[in-house]
A and B are shown apart, each in its own frame.
Chain A
Amino acid sequence: MPHSSVVGDVLRANGLVKAFGGVCAVDGVDITVGAGERVALLGPNGAGKTTTLLMLLGAITADQGTIEMAGYRLPHERSAAAGQVGFAAGYLPLAERLRVHEYLRMYGQLYGVANPSDRIARTLERFGITHLANAMGTELSSGQRTLVGIVKAMIHEPQLLVLDEPTASLDPDVARRVRTNLLEICSERGTALLVTSHNMVEVERLCERVIFLSHGKVVANGTPDEITASFGTTDLEALFLHLADRQRAHGTGRSETT
């Protein structure tokens, strides 16, 4: 039965498969994220991370497999499930011709918060960008847009935050502020985190568990220490490079489906 406050896993995906035009992008991926758990989804370009994330968010339909978010099953309960998830991607612009507070108000209401003004003000303050509230989205730098996107993902206080490359365009100081705030929010509210990043240092600081994808398959799943030890590498960056070399040696990183 669906429930709004999950004690066990907030995300449970089993056997996800997705092929595009006969090329398999995701090949039998299993992912679980526990309530309040901070998980990184890593892998070289073309490993299937974005496709996996978009399936989990209901933006792409899986060919095979099951997805359950906060107790709601996709795709039939997509709307209810989406209400429990916040999403931000460093590469997405803000909607044009809106001021930041208008943009955040719109998304707050789309996520069911009738009067989001107080939450918007608190979250903008938390990330130190209150001064941007009246700026037009097009006037912001890419880093500022990313921060506003993260605020947007949090207004409805979701059970799971899905962040795709959240700090890619941020300077080290702002990136640290984002990490600190994310850790605090996860700790205070029990919010779970699923994040993709190419910054391995950031992942080690932010996430308790790491899932590595390569060729559309999960090749490692555990704490950073566990998986670096199992591959015999010194750290996550060395493991990443090792997997990237292996994927390149196998061609595109994707397999043909029959």
Chain B
Amino acid sequence: MNMSLHWLRIRAIARRHWYVLLRSPHRLFDVTVWPLIDVLLFGSIGVYFTRGGGPPTHASQVAFGYMLAGVLLWHVVYQSSIGLATGFMEETWSRNLLNLIVTPMTEIDYIGGVALFGLVKLATGLIVVALTGLGFYAFHVTDLGVAAIPIVAILLAVGWDIALIVIALTLRFGSSAEPLAWGLLFLVMPLSGVFYPIRALPWLLRPIARALPTTHAFTAARAIYAGRSLPWREVGIAAVSAVGLTALALMFTAAMLATFRRRGFVTRYS
């Protein structure tokens, strides 16, 4: 395997998506306006519920921090997922798919290129969240500390997994599956306990929530924000279930790609 050749292709795809972002400023909405609105919305709700009844206590301060830390970490999932899924959709919107799939580029090269550029969008989104949180609510991202790194890594992987599932469904069902790029995230978010422990969920939904890697990642994040040490058990469960989800997402995508080639769905985009 010629790694330099793969790296050349990955960079070519990443650069293509950089040009797309540069020349379509409205696509910056996802990475600038949306994070800003999220911080304003959840930050203001947090201020109202934790400080509205009187002077802030330690408990209310921590609860407030949970909300903004939740927004920040949720955007790791959101931005990584949206970056990869809409990057692929860009090829369907511009009818570029046939030209791409007849090149020597492998599927891994392509996903690598879009995901690499997605990291730029992710970083932009997180900077917006961090600066808005700091400027409006005196929320310091650094309070999470280096212990947040494994949590961020798990959430990044889950975001990419969700995007792979969306890509697979788009390959199979065409553009009608595109709304799932956002829809799946809004399904996962409340079940993951981003802003609250999952015991706050209706009992029927708790087993589903426990099966999600994101739930354990956010539980671990809340623990470190509260000043406790990193709960490795939660991180371990999150990591193992994220690996399982990644394997399932890859197998599902490979199966849908095989169906895409077998049933000639590429003609939808040519």
Contact = CB atoms under 8 A, between A and B. Distances in A.
A257 interface: no
Interface in A24-70: 50-51, 54, 57-61
A87 B102 contact: yes
A157 B22 CA distance: 31
A112 B102 contact: no
B93 interface: yes
Contacts of B94: 93, 95-97
A45 to B, nearest CB: 14
Contacts of B20: 96-98
Given A91-B270, A109-B9, A82 B264 contact: no
B8 A96 contact: no
Interface string B73-106: 0000000000000000011011110111111111
A60 B8 contact: no
A114 interface: yes
Interface residues of B, number: 36
Contacts of B100: 110
The B interface, classified by DSSP as helix, strand, loop or mixed, is helix
B104 A80 contact: yes
A59 B104 contact: no
Contact of B264 (A51, A87, A105, A152): A51
Interface in A108-158: 109-112, 114, 152
A59 B8 contact: no
B15 interface: yes
Nearest to A51: B264
A102 interface: yes
A92 B24 contact: no
25 contacts: A51-B264, A59-B98, A59-B101, A59-B102, A59-B266, A60-B262, A61-B258, A80-B104, A82-B104, A85-B102, A87-B102, A89-B270, A91-B270, A92-B99, A93-B95, A95-B94, A95-B96, A95-B99, A96-B96, A97-B23, A97-B94, A106-B13, A109-B12, A110-B100, A112-B8
